Amino acid sequence: MPLGYSIFRNSDDEQREAMVSQQTYANEGITWHLRIMRWKYIGYTALWSTATGCAVAITDYSINLFTDYNGILGWIITGVFG
């Protein structure tokens, strides 16, 4: 008999050990899943922030180029204060 082997072992003990070993692998999978989700969140946030900044810059330049206003802020300030 191996050292630490209980003479009172039964199938319930084996089932518990199998569940614990599977839980360890499941936790590792969840950890990697959360890491990948975090990097996707960071990537998509950077992408959408850059795209939004570019859209605002193009809109501001278009307002400056095609109207008599000095960009978005000039248009808003003129509209509010006259």
pLDDT of residue 1: 47
Residue range of the domain that includes 36 = 13-81
23 domain residue, yes or no: yes
Exposure of 64 by Cβ count < 10 A (0-12 exposed, 13-18 middle, 19+ buried)?
middle
Total number of domains in the chain: 1
pTM of the model: 0.56
3 domain residue, yes or no: no
4 domain residue, yes or no: no
48 domain residue, yes or no: yes
7 domain residue, yes or no: no
72 in Cβ contact with 65 (< 8 Å): no
Give the tens place of pLDDT for each residue, 5-36: 666 667 777 777 777 766 655 666 667 788 89
